[in-house]
Amino acid sequence: MSAMEESEYDVFHPYSTSYPTDVFEEMGFTVCGGMSWLRSDNKVKRFVRSLVNRCNCLSPVTSVQFCKKYYCDDQIALNEMLWKGKHKVQWDREISKPANLSDFPWQGLTGVSSKTKHRIKVWNRSFAYRAKMPNDCPTDNWVAMPLYIDRSDVVRVWSALCSS
């Protein structure tokens, strides 16, 4: 964790699947909204405030019932904010639109929010794994979020795969 805190980046995200599909098709990738590291500074707080506001849950009198009434898919909201609008991220390279998930190279990626100027790093697929269960343990893996496996089996199966 200290490596992230001491880094030049304010936010870290893992790649996701192709959801939301429209963002994947237009931006060329998506990030996972459920596994991120966020620095507690004013730039990031402004970005999170925008995300919460987009989901209609920013009011100081907000209750859980209010937010549920105006349900918002944070995965869609986050990826749309990175893709277009005031926060559109300027990525460190052009991203070609993959034909499918297996066509994407999955190297790390960095960028800067157009509005808040917070710096973003997307971890490479091996480091923060979010895909179907692989045949071999990903190189330098730190976190595993494999798809299509019973959640109660993840630790046992991943440990067997990556025990060495």
Query: Do residue 30 and residue 92 come from a single domain?
Result: yes
Query: Do residue 29 and residue 73 come from a single domain?
Result: yes
Query: Do residue 65 and residue 25 come from a single domain?
Result: yes
Residue 57 to residue 78: CA distance in whole angstroms: 14
- pLDDT of 72 reads 81
Query: Do residue 90 and residue 138 come from a single domain?
Result: no
Query: Do residue 19 and residue 64 come from a single domain?
Result: yes
- pLDDT of 56 reads 74
Query: Do residue 30 and residue 110 come from a single domain?
Result: yes
| Cα dihedral 53/9/32/76 (nearest 10) | 30
- pLDDT of 20 reads 94
- pLDDT of 66 reads 56
Query: Do residue 60 and residue 76 come from a single domain?
Result: yes
Query: Do residue 88 and residue 140 come from a single domain?
Result: no
- pLDDT of 37 reads 93
Q: Does residue 59 carry a pLDDT above 80?
A: no
Per-residue pLDDT tens for 93-136?
988 888 877 777 789 999 999 999 999 999 999 999 988 899 99
Contact predicate 126/145, CB 8 Å: no
Per-residue pLDDT tens for 9-52?
999 999 998 899 999 989 999 999 888 999 999 999 999 999 98
Closest of 77, 85, 75 to residue 18, by C-alpha: 75
Query: Do residue 116 and residue 142 come from a single domain?
Result: no
Provide the number of structural domains found in the chain. 2
Query: Do residue 119 and residue 132 come from a single domain?
Result: no
Most confident of 51-55, 66-70, 102-106, 154-158: 154-158
What predicted TM-score, i.e. pTM, was given to this entire model? 0.85
pLDDT band at 57 (very low <50, low <70, confident <90, very high): confident
- pLDDT of 16 reads 92
Query: Do residue 77 and residue 145 come from a single domain?
Result: no
Query: Do residue 109 and residue 39 come from a single domain?
Result: yes
Domain that holds residue 161: 126-164
Q: Does residue 91 carry a pLDDT above 80?
A: yes
Residue 152 to residue 146: CA distance in whole angstroms: 12
